[in-house]
Amino acid sequence: MGAVDGFLKYNRELPEVRDPKARVADYEEIYVPFAEEKTNKQAARCMDCGIPFCHNGCPLGNHIPDFNDAVFNKDWETAFKILSSTNNFPEFTGRICPAPCEGSCVLGINKDPVAIELIEKSIAEEAFERGLVKANPPKTRTGKSVAVIGSGPAGLAAATQLNQAGHNVTVFERADQIGGLLRYGIPDFKLEKWTIDRRLKVMEEEGITFKTNANIGVNIPVNELEEKFNAIVLCGGSTVPRDLPLPGRGLKGIHFAMDFLSQQNKRVSKRDNVLVNHQGVDTKADIFATGKNVIVIGGGDTGSDCVGTSNRHKAKSVTQIELLSKPPESRTQLNPWPEWPMTLKTSSSHDEGCERAWAILTKEFIGNDKGELTGLRLVDINWGKNGMEEVPGTDRVIPCELALLAAGFVHPQKEGMIEQLGLELDERGNVKAENYATSKSGVFTAGDMRRGQSLVVWAISEGREAARAVDEFLEGASKLPSKSKSFYQLA
C-alpha cells in the first residue's frame, strides 16, 4: 500500500463541474479536468483493507486496492493492466456507473468512501493518452463463429471476450450506429459518443465485425443466423418500457423517456433518422421540451437524464415526481454498510434546475379539445402497512404540456427474434437461462434481456460471463477469465 495514512491525510475530492447556467447551453461533458496529482491523493485514501468489501460491491469483481496502489505510485501501465483484466470498458463505467463499489468501501463506514469511479475513469483516460490501449487480436482462430445480437455494454463485452478466445465474432445492431443504450439512451453530457467510437475502433482492429440496421427476426431471419453461426448470444436488453395506462393516455404530448432521449442523442450526432425511436419504430413526432411545463414521471437515472435534456431544451419548468417516499439523507439502521445505500441521490441534472416531489400518484392525463396534453391530475399518497393510500384533499391538476414516462422497463421485446427462436421465458418475461444458456441449444443470453433492467456494470459482467459459457460450449473448456479468476491473477 502506497500511503498508510492516506485516508487520514486526504479528504474525498471530485472534479469540479462547469457552471450550470453555462453547461445547459451545450451537450458536452460537465466535468472539468482533474489534475493527476489530485488523482494520486484520492488513490492514497484506499486503506488496502484486510477484507476489501469493494470487491464484492463491484459486479465485475474489480481488484480495486491493487489498482489504487498503482495509481498512487503513478504506475499507470500496471493500473490499467489490473483494471482491464476484469473490466473491458472502464471509460464507460468511470463515467456512468453509480459505483456500488463505493457503497461497500470500508472507509465509507465513518468517512466519505474512496472515489473509485473517478480513479477508474482516470486510469482509462491515461491509458488511451499514453497509447496503452492497443488492438490485441488473438494469435490463433478456432474456426468457430458467434453472432452477438445487440451492441450495448453486454453485447460489446461478450464480443470482446469471445474474440479474445479466438472465435470469429459478428455483432448485429438494429439501430444505425453501434452502442445500444450507450449510444442512444445516455445523454452526451454524461457520456460523449467519441468515447464509444474510440473503443469500437480498437475492437474492429482486433477482428470483430459490426453490422448495423440489422433487426434480427425482422429484416434478417433468425434461421439465417442459425445456419451461419456456431452459437448465438442474445444481448438485446430490456426494451419494452413500463406504460401508464391511465385516462387520457392517448393525448399528444405523452412520450416514453427513451424516445425523448434517443431523439436528442441523434440530433447531437447529426443523424438523419431522428424520428425513429429506440425500438426502431417511426414515431412521426419530434419531441421537444422547449417552452413547456415538463413532468418527468419516475425518480431514477433515466428520469434525471430527461431533466437535464429538458433544461437544455429550455423548458418553461421541469418537475420530477416519484411514486415512492423520499429517501433519507443518510443510511438508516435498516440499511447498514456494506449494503447499497438507499439514500437521496441528487444528480447534476437536478442542480441545473428541477422541482422534485415524492409519494405522488398520477391519476389522469388532462387535455384540450385538440387532443393535446395540458395537465396531470395528481394526488399525494402515504405508504403504510396496507400499502399505498391516497391522502384526502390533495387531489389537484398541475399544468403539463410534455409528460415523460421514466418508470423503467418490464422485459425484452418478444415479437420477432425471441418468438421465432421459441425461447422459454421466466416469470418476469425475461429470457430464461441456466448458466447463460437458453432453452435452445447453441443460443445464449446476457444482460438486461436475461436479468431484467439493471446497471451498465452488471451488463458488462453478464457479457463476460456469458462469453465464457459460450466458449465452454464450443470448445469443451475455456481459458477466459471468470469473476473468481482474472488474467491479472493468472499472470
pLDDT digit of tens for each residue in the chain (491 aa)?
668 899 999 999 999 999 999 999 999 999 999 999 999 999 999 998 989 999 889 999 999 999 999 999 999 999 999 999 999 999 999 999 999 999 999 999 999 999 999 999 999 999 999 999 999 999 999 999 999 999 999 999 999 999 999 999 999 999 999 999 999 999 999 999 999 999 999 999 999 999 999 999 999 999 999 999 999 999 999 999 999 999 999 999 999 999 999 999 999 999 877 777 666 666 678 999 999 999 999 999 999 999 999 999 999 999 999 999 999 999 999 999 999 999 999 999 999 999 999 999 999 999 999 999 999 999 999 998 889 999 999 999 999 999 999 999 999 999 999 999 999 999 999 999 999 999 999 999 999 999 999 999 999 999 999 999 999 999 999 999 987 654 444 33
DSSP three-state, residue 378:
strand
What is the per-residue pLDDT for 415?
A: 95
Q: What pLDDT shows up at residue 272? A: 74
pLDDT value at residue 2: 65
Residue 235 cell numbers, joined: 444481448
pLDDT of residue 332: 94
Alpha carbons 94 and 160: distance in angstroms, whole number: 19
Q: What is the pLDDT of residue 487?
A: 44
Give the pLDDT score at 313. Answer: 98
CA atoms within 13 A on the CB side of 182: 33
Q: What pLDDT, on the 0 to 100 scale, is given for residue 38? A: 97
β-strand pairing of 373-384 with 387-390: antiparallel
In DSSP terms, which residues pair with 149 in a beta bridge?
172, 234
Contacts of 180 (CB under 8 A, 6+ apart): 150, 151, 152, 153, 155, 156, 173, 237
Nearest CA-CA partner of 90 in 199, 180, 200, 210? 199
Comparing CA positions, the residue from 227, 83, 79 lying closest to residue 147 is 227
CA distance 119 to 46: 11
> How far apart (Å, rounded) are the C-alpha atoms in residues 287 and 454?
26
Q: Please say whether the beta carbons of 297 and 321 come within 8 A.
A: yes
* pLDDT at site 285: 83
- The model's pTM is 0.95
Give the position of cell 433515466.
302
Count of alpha carbons within 13 angstroms of residue 475, beta-carbon side = 20
Nearest Cα neighbor of 61 from 337, 343, 465, 454 is 465
Per-residue pLDDT, 1: 61
Query: Which H or E element spans position 40?
Result: helix 36-44
How far apart CA 194 and CA 178 sit, in angstroms, is 12
Reply yes or no: is the peptide bond before residue 65 cis, omega within 30 of 0. no
Q: In the chain, what's the furthest Cα-to-Cα distance?
A: 72
Q: Please choose, from the candidates 123, 128, 27, 16, the residue with its C-alpha nearest in 3D space to the C-alpha of residue 66.
A: 123
Round to whole Å and give the CA distance between 402 and 290.
10
